[in-house]
Amino acid sequence: MKTENNMEKEKRGDLAEAVTSVIDELKQEQKLAAVHTYTSTLNSYILFCREYGYTITLADTFITGRLKDYQSWLRRNGLSWNSVSTYLRTLRAIYNRICPPGSPRYNPKLFEDLHTKVESHTKRALTGKQMKKLLTTDSCSLPPDLQRAMAYFLLMFLFRGMPFIDLAHLNKKDMKGNVIIYCRHKTGKQMTVRIPGQAMELIEKYRDRRKDSPYLFPILNPEEEEAWELHQSYLKALRLFNKEVAKMGKLLLGVRISSYTPRHTWATLSYYLGVPVGLICEALGHSSIRVTENYLKPFEKEKVDKANDDLITFVMESESRKRLSRKSLKYSGLYNPLLTK
pLDDT tens figures, 277-328:
999 999 999 888 888 887 777 666 667 777 788 878 887 777 666 665 655 5
φ, ψ (nearest 5 deg) of residue 288: -160, 165
By CB neighbour count within 10 A (0-12 exposed, 13-18 middle, 19+ buried), where does 257 fall?
Answer: buried
Can you name the CATH fold of 4-98? Answer: DNA polymerase; domain 1 (1.10.150)
CATH fold label, 128-287: hpI Integrase; Chain A (1.10.443)
Q: What is the pLDDT of residue 160?
A: 95
Give the per-residue pLDDT at 27. Answer: 87
175-176 and 190-194 as β-strands: parallel, antiparallel, unpaired? unpaired
Model pLDDT for residues 206-253, shown as the tens digit of each residue: 999 999 999 999 999 888 778 888 888 999 999 999 999 999 999 999
Cα–Cα distance between 152 and 169 in angstroms, integer?
Answer: 13
CATH 1.10.443.10 domain residues, the chain = 128-287
- pLDDT grade for 120, boundaries at 50, 70 and 90: low
Q: Which amino acid is at 341?
A: K
Per the prediction, the chain carries an average pLDDT of: 86
- Residue 32: the pLDDT is 85
Model-wide pTM > 0.85:
no
Please, where in the chain does CATH 1.10.150 lie? 4-98
**Residue 107: CB partners within 8 Å, gap ≥ 6?**
62, 99
Distance CA 5, CA 26 (A): 26
Given a cut of 50, is residue 5 above it in pLDDT?
Answer: no
How far out from the chain centre does Cα 132 lie? 22
Q: What is the mean pLDDT of residues 136-151?
A: 94
Lowest pLDDT segment from 84-88, 165-169, 284-288: 284-288
Q: Does 50 score more than 90 pLDDT?
A: yes
Q: How many angstroms separate the most distant Cα atoms in the chain?
A: 97
DSSP for 295-337?
HHHHHHHHHHHHHHHHHHHHHHHHHHHHHHHHHHHHHHT---G
Task: Tell me the DSSP string of 252-268.
Answer: HTSS---TTHHHHHHHH
